[in-house]
Chains A and B, each alone.
Chain A
Amino acid sequence: MALLTTEGLTKRFGGLTAVDTLTFAVDAGDLVGIIGPNGAGKTTLFSLLSGFLRPDDGAVVFKGHRISGRPPYRIVDQGLARTFQVVRPFTNMTVVENVATACVSPRARRMSRGRDVWQHAMEIIAAVELEKKARHPVETLPFGDLRRLEIARALATHPELLLLDEPFSGLSISEAAPLETLIGTLAQRGTTILIVEHKLRELMRLVRRVIVMQFGQIIAEGSPAVVAQSPRVVEAYLGGTP
């Protein structure tokens, strides 16, 4: 049984159909990239999967349970976590407080097996290599570290499926490399990962499977090499007929 499936998932905003009867599946252990030109509906898809939006039609099924329409905190409790494209650190708090807040959640507590919130938080922070800055206020963090912090918060809940929304955007090459390594490590440890990304070079290197979206629909699916060759995909990115 696939870890995550969507069945005919649809979301409309006024006259615009952002996600159009989308159907796909993700198996446990997958490392999948979702790409597509701007406005393809990728972030809307993430919001639908993580409970921040309710679908107008169709369903999202995670580990055999229908999660579409449930509030985000319940979905996180099931083991599905996401990061945001625009980083949302908890301002006026330190790095460790940011992660510790996520460690207070029911799932994080269950998964930490008796360790207290602060210990648990420090372990997660170590996993993303931010230990040196644990007591720093988040306002002092450079952008690359804020991205790590986002991921750390998501990891605090020990998700089985992690949704990363444009994790590489805005990062310099030197910041992107360690992030790539981190994601690779997480995948190796068994976390299923879904990444939305515009930076195709990093993405194609990283993932094993790619889903291409345009206008809310899937226009191609397969290994990075195959998808990169597909004329439909090239056309979608270059804007179609001149």
Chain B
Amino acid sequence: MSRTAPGVAILVALALVPLAVRDRYFLSVFTLANLYAAIAASWDLLSGYTGRENFGHAVFIGTGAYTAALLNTRLHLSPVLGIAAGGGAVVALAILVGVPTLRLRGPYFALATLAVAGIMERLALLLWPLTGGEDGVYGVQPLSLSAPTTYYTTLAFMAIVVLGLYWATRSEWGMVLRAIRANEEACEASGLNVTVYKMGALVLSALPAGLAGGLYAHVQEHVGPAVYSAALSVTVIIMTVIGGIGTIYGAAAGGFLLTALGEVLRGFGPYRLLLFSAILLPVILFWPRGVVVQLAGRLRRG
């Protein structure tokens, strides 16, 4: 069975969703799922391929979101420009954060990124005249008044991100990233400027997250400090871990799975997080390489 066939089938299925789902609320869930899938895929690029686990990915989502929201509400910039500006801001931030932190490894890199995200979250609260503090920014222009249009926009975005990142990982550049994960010093000894590659991975990982943040601002029409939260960062990681690290499509699938799970559990009211975590514990324990990836492997062999 060809590698691309399942992917194409899934895309076609996703494209048909608005025809089957008329309820505005459920369509919005799918819309958010698209954004999460793109974000998880972007996280996987850095963490799955260079072995640097970023525990503060929300810092890129949040910066993209706030930039787009503020530019739209204060300066009345169109969503397209605001989101693009958010993307630019995030690239600059990635370089700023990357220069001092990329030489750290393992838990140290995770902690440094966690600390950066934590500081940004506190700042979003402290700088309340700018950011609206706890309440955040309201009145962001919606991406489109038509729910299906919004859905298709996010679907296209997700497809471009996932395909683009997947293609990047299959390239020579992606091969170098995998080599860096395996043994950084041997890469240096092979004549490769490892720092530039890591920085490239960080920037390429940050950009989709920032753009997704901007899209999120215009979909929800509101941005609050939760977009910088550690909870969001950890959620993204869990999505990727559940789906399968190091494959890009695994992460995207994890994004969909977890969003779906969250929705299914919504009916349990205050107990949904309890059930959510209770379900996740055995899943991580029994499928540490990721449910989707392990299942896909079994299907391919069977």
Contacts and interface: CB of A to CB of B under 8 A. Distances in A.
Q: Do chains A and B touch in the complex (CB under 8 A)?
A: yes
A172 interface: no
A91 B190 contact: no
B149 interface: no
A52 B191 contact: no
A73 B178 contact: no
B284 to A, nearest CB: 21
Interface in A152-166: 153-154, 156-157
Interface string B185-224: 1111111111000000000000000000000000000000
Nearest to B184: A88
B65 interface: no
A97 B190 CA distance: 13
B115 interface: no
A104 B194 CA distance: 12
A50 to B, nearest CB: 7
Interface in B226-253: none
A72 B192 CA distance: 9
Contacts of A51: 188
Given A73-B194, A117-B172, A101 B179 contact: yes
Interface residues of B, number: 17
A90 B189 CA distance: 12
Interface stretch (A9-17, A24-32, A105-113): A105-113
A38 B171 CA distance: 43
B270 to A, nearest CB: 43
Given A73-B194, A107-B191, A153 B186 contact: yes
A171 interface: no
Contacts of B192: 73, 101-102, 104-105
B254 to A, nearest CB: 20
A73 B191 contact: yes
A105 B193 CA distance: 8
A76 B179 CA distance: 17
B47 to A, nearest CB: 15
A71 interface: yes
B174 to A, nearest CB: 11
Given A90-B179, A90-B183, A93-B182, A101 B190 contact: yes
A100 interface: yes
A115 to B, nearest CB: 14
Interface string B159-181: 00000000000001001101100
A77 B189 contact: no
29 contacts: A52-B185, A52-B189, A72-B189, A73-B191, A76-B188, A76-B189, A82-B189, A83-B189, A84-B185, A84-B189, A88-B183, A88-B186, A89-B182, A89-B186, A90-B182, A90-B183, A90-B186, A90-B187, A93-B175, A93-B182, A97-B175, A98-B179, A100-B175, A101-B176, A104-B176, A105-B190, A105-B192, A117-B172, A157-B191
